[in-house]
Structure 1
Amino acid sequence: MSATTSVPLLRRVTPGGWAATAWLAGLLFTVLLRVRLPGQEEADVMAGVVILRWDGITMLLLATALALYGARLLSRRPAAALRHLLAAAVVGSTPLGVTAIPMAQYLAVDVALYVIAAARPPREARRALLLALGVLVAHLAVRLLAGWSVGTTGALAVALTAAVAWLLGRSEQQNRAHAARTRAQTAAQAVTSERLRIAREMHDTVAHSMGIVALQAGAARRVIDTRPEQARQALAEIETASRETLAGLRRMLGALRTGEPDAAEPPAADAGLPEMPGLAALDRLAEITAAAGVRVAVHRVGAPGPLPQDIDLSAFRVVQESVTNVVRHSGADSCTVTVDHRDPEALLLTVEDRGRGAAPERAPRHDGTGYGLVGMRERVTLLYGEFDAGARPGGGFRVTARLPLPTGATAP
């Protein structure tokens, strides 16, 4: 159940790093267009007069400085970064002798538009797009007013790439928002399903206890006149069963929310296990898991004592779900289950493995947002216990749960 933590190389590059790379790549492309490369009779674009002079080189250096500074600001102050990158595009285009801002000088702006559209609020993202398109229009307007030729087609192509970059950023933001809503709904559904399952199990527990009460009450009524000692024993058993049932109800039902049974998935069948399993069924669980290819070593520490049925059942469910996660996600061929009875006030459960780890998108998460961890955490919380799940220092994954015991629940 251990999750890998390596980050893909491309994801390590910051947005500012991508913007700086885009500017330098565009600058290199601009230079290559104006140089005769091997196999060419002449360069694709004739170099302007200004670019070959000191003032042209100075403007290119100034534009590069503006672009790199804007790239540095992109993560912290994206609006200011965009303004610097736009200024760099205008300044860098001036010595090139072109009729419109070339696409190569707008690549860094496209990166900034994508970042802003993907990470910033919609209103700010729209302002960024309007500013980027407005600079292109203003550049054409200035040339028209000055009586110079304009490259309307080239400007339209640059505007189209800017709009596409912005739309891709908005799509990324909407995908992330949808994924977050889906995770929240899945977690909420997991909590609701687990609580409904607990409610059904509690119903079975109460029905079993009330059946015992009814039988003992009938027996006591029949022998109360002829055999008072047996009647007294039956009444004592009625009292014990009633107290245990009421204690379990107080611990669990008070925290359960009302839900529609039809809205939840039915609980998975526990093949080969008792209908209401407890810690006594751990050996059977180990046999079933071994058949799935994972050996389970069960260690019991301390002297086991009688447990209330709700705590016994919840402890088994926590171990069962943890072992299931080992089988599905860890890649380990064995795990260890430890049941510690030494503390008279609480039952301590530990399930750990030395797995290689699952893919990040499938691995259980320490914050409890994985489907199985949600159910375990919810079940333990309803019993006022403590739950923790995370990577082991030496590798692998560990789940621990501490379930408080009511007074007198364990054997002295």
Structure 2
Amino acid sequence: MRTTLGGLRAWLGDRPLVPDALLAALLVAAALARLISPLPYGARPPGLAEAVAVLLGCAAVAVRRKWPFTLLCALETTHLSLVVAGHETSMLDTAILIAVYSVAAHRGLAVSLAALGVDLLAVLVGVASGVGAETRTVLLVGAPVVVTAWVVGRSLRMRRAYLAELKDRAERLERARDADTRAARAEERSRIARELHDVVAHHVSVMTVQAAAARRILTTNPQGAGEALSAIEEVGRTAMAEMRNIVGVLRTDDGRAGPAERGPQPGTLELPALVEQMREAGLPIQLWTEGESGDLPPGIDLAAYRLVQEALTNTLRHAGPGARAWVTVRHEPGEFSVRIEDDGRGPADPRPDGERPGPGHGLVGIRERVALYGGMLRIGPRAGGGFEVRARFPLKDGR
């Protein structure tokens, strides 16, 4: 039901002439009923021309949004002519209120003030024209009602402008957030590319060493040379698999690696040292390794290390005092998973705006890193309180 009403409201918002035409039809019907009813205040019955003028004035409300100021001037002229002649004005008073409201709601401040001035001037002219005491009283009492209609219309216009500004600001923030996220992803992809470049370079170096050894012992130790060639074949396949994984994300502007990036990249074997480092920083951590650990593909090994590193860093920064963390590394046939949990309740000194910091760019990069190897990542609250980061990587050929 709510969806239907929302759709109808949107449809009418795109076609303002439809509700305005319905409003004009109601005014015309009310004017006809008023014209054939007994006349109040001893007013003279209108002639054909006056009746047609009243009905046309009510029907003109259909264009109240397109030409509101013109409509108001025409209605005031007709109304003033009928009042001075002592005729019944029927529903023209209501039509004038609608016109004043429409000018205030759909035009700028200068035009709306001019419309209010026109209406009040028409009241003064009507009062000064020598009409009866009862008619003069009606005109004077109607002036505050007109001012109220103008205030309501002006308030609605300001509210619409305020909501439009809020919507525009939200859209700008959304675009800025998307641009920020894309920049973070591009930066992390560049970082991944540099790291995997070192991994592939390591494989090529190993193949070169093995090939040189095989060449030296080819005539004296054919069996040893065959083993060296088998090792070259295996390393070559691993390197090709890594290169297939990174095709499409190697988009660095500078292919040169810095001095600190030429060394071997960390992996899951370095997790105990990482955990000990975090303990020294004041975060109690327990590390469990389940299953038989085998040789992981270097890219997945590096991704798992970076995942644990980023998750523990976020725990240290955001979990709050007294928080504990658990790291579980599980080796299973055809799958490798990493799980980092904490029981934190948030920082003791929240941000000035009262909001807790959410996942940063590091975890955005982690999503890219896990997706690169076809893995699945879950980041969110932990059952029982705290936070959890869990990643699962599929392994081919049982490794």
Q: Same fold (TM over 0.5)?
A: yes
Structure 1 unaligned blocks of 5 or more = 1-72, 88-126
Alignment of 1:317 onto 2:311: no
Question: Could you list the per-position Cα deviations for residues 201-222 of structure 1 after superposition, in whole angstroms to 9, with x for gaps in the alignment?
Answer: 1110111110111111111112
Alignment of 1:253 onto 2:246: yes
Q: Identify which range, 166-175 or 180-189, moves more after superposition.
A: 166-175
Distance 1:174 1:373 in 2: 29
Question: Could you list the per-position Cα deviations for residues 148-205 of structure 1 after superposition, in whole angstroms to 9, with x for gaps in the alignment?
Answer: 6879999999998777655544443333222111210111112111111111111101
Poorly superposed stretches of 4+, deviation over 2 Å:
76-80, 131-175, 256-263, 357-365
Distance 1:392 1:128 in 2: 54
Alignment match, 2:388 = 398
Alignment of 1:356 onto 2:348: no
Alignment match, 2:326 = 336
Alignment match, 1:374 = 364
Alignment of 1:239 onto 2:233: yes
Between the two proteins, the alignment pairs up a number of residues equal to: 283
Work out whether residues 357 and 363 of structure 1, in 8 Å CA contact, stay in contact via their aligned partners in 2. Answer: no
Distance 2:246 2:369 in 1: 12
What amino acid is the match of 1:404?
P
Distance 1:187 1:155 in 2: 48
Distance 2:389 2:275 in 1: 17
Distance 1:258 1:301 in 2: 34
Query: Kindly tell me: are residues 372 and 323 of structure 1, through their superposed partners in 2, closer, same or farther at Cα, counting changes over 3 Å?
Result: same
Distance 1:253 1:238 in 2: 21
1:225 Cα offset (Å): 1.3
Question: Could you list the per-position Cα deviations for residues 279-313 of structure 1 after superposition, in whole angstroms to 9, with x for gaps in the alignment?
Answer: 11111111221232212211111121111111111
SS at structure 1 position matched to 2:118 = helix
Distance 2:266 2:105 in 1: 61
Select which of 281, 286, 289 maps to 1:292: 281
Larger radius of gyration: 2
Structure 2 unaligned blocks of 5 or more = 14-18, 24-102, 127-138
Higher relative contact order (CA 8 A, sep 6+): 1
Distance 2:207 2:250 in 1: 27
Distance 1:338 1:159 in 2: 64
Alignment match, 1:130 = 106
Work out whether residues 377 and 392 of structure 2, in 8 Å CA contact, stay in contact via their aligned partners in 1. Answer: yes
Alignment of 1:204 onto 2:198: yes
Work out whether residues 106 and 157 of structure 2, in 8 Å CA contact, stay in contact via their aligned partners in 1. Answer: no
SS at structure 2 position matched to 1:355 = coil
Work out whether residues 214 and 229 of structure 2, in 8 Å CA contact, stay in contact via their aligned partners in 1. Answer: yes
Q: Which one has the bigger helix percentage?
A: 2
Question: Map of 1:222-237 to 2, 5 A cutoff?
Answer: 222-237=216-231
